[in-house]
Amino acid sequence: MPRSATGSGLSLSPLSQPDTVALVRMLAPTHEATTVERLSEQVWIASEGNPFMVVETMRALQEGAAARDVALPQRVREVIGRRLERLADGSRSLLTVASVIGREFEFELLRRAAGLDEDATAEGVEERPNEPGDATPTPPPSGPAYRRRRP
């Protein structure tokens, strides 16, 4: 992660499900076991262990948001929006096509669905490979495929 004038970046790997549950328990506004268990499951499903998403979800709940309203907390939406704005138009269009296809897909399917040649598709995919929401290569057993990362 690049350094900025305001600080330095820290790259975090996704938390495991037990670690996500532990973080939710620590940040939960209530310590009632049933409520925390249900909340932990909802946060795990929504965040897939993304630490930023876990913390922002819990912050939104502490600020009074209903559990059903925090599938994607406002601050997370704003961060994603700012990152998407920095993408070139072609990459944003490609990301839109990828979001319609689904979470996992073959490169060739993305290329054909977007109506682009191989080079243009590769450029769009590779523009910002470390940004959330970009398609990043994942090595499948049968050839190159892509998986969109969630924030």
Query: Where residue 137 sits, what CATH number does that domain have?
Result: 1.10.10
Query: What are the tens digits of pLDDT across the range 108-123?
Result: 999 999 999 999 999 9
Closest listed residue to residue 104, CA positions, set 54, 65, 139: 139
Residue 106 contacts by C-beta under 8 Å, 6 or more apart in sequence? 143, 144, 145, 146
Residue 76 shares a structural domain with residue 24: yes
Write out pLDDT tens, residues 48-75: 899 988 998 888 888 877 666 667 777 8
pLDDT band at 17 (very low <50, low <70, confident <90, very high): very high
The rounded distance, in Å, linking the Cα atoms of 7 and 13 is 20
Any idea how long the chain is?
151
DSSP 72: S
Please give the share of the chain, as a percent, with pLDDT higher than 90: 26
Is residue 61 a part of any domain in this protein?
A: yes
Q: Which residue among 81, 97, 113 closes a domain?
A: 81
pTM passes above 0.75: no
Residues 103 and 74 in one domain: no
Based on the fold, state whether residues 93 and 131 are members of the same structural domain: yes
**Whether pLDDT at 77 is above 60:** yes
Residues 143 and 107 in one domain: yes
| Parallel, antiparallel or unpaired: strands 135-138 and 104-106 | unpaired
Looking at the fold, whether 95 and 144 belong to one and the same domain comes out as yes
User: End of a domain among 49, 81, 113?
Assistant: 81
Pairwise CA distance, residues 25 & 112, whole Å: 45
Sorting pLDDT into bands at 50, 70 and 90, what band is 81? confident
Q: For residue 40, tell me if it sits in a domain.
A: yes
pLDDT band at residue 34 under the 50/70/90 scheme: confident
Residue 77, CA distances (Å) to 107, 126, 139 in order: 27, 22, 29
Domain that holds residue 68: 17-81
Q: Does any domain span residue 6? A: no
The yes-or-no verdict on residue 79 having pLDDT over 80 is yes
pLDDT of res. 7: 61
Residue 133 lies in a domain: yes
Please state the domain count of the chain.
Answer: 2
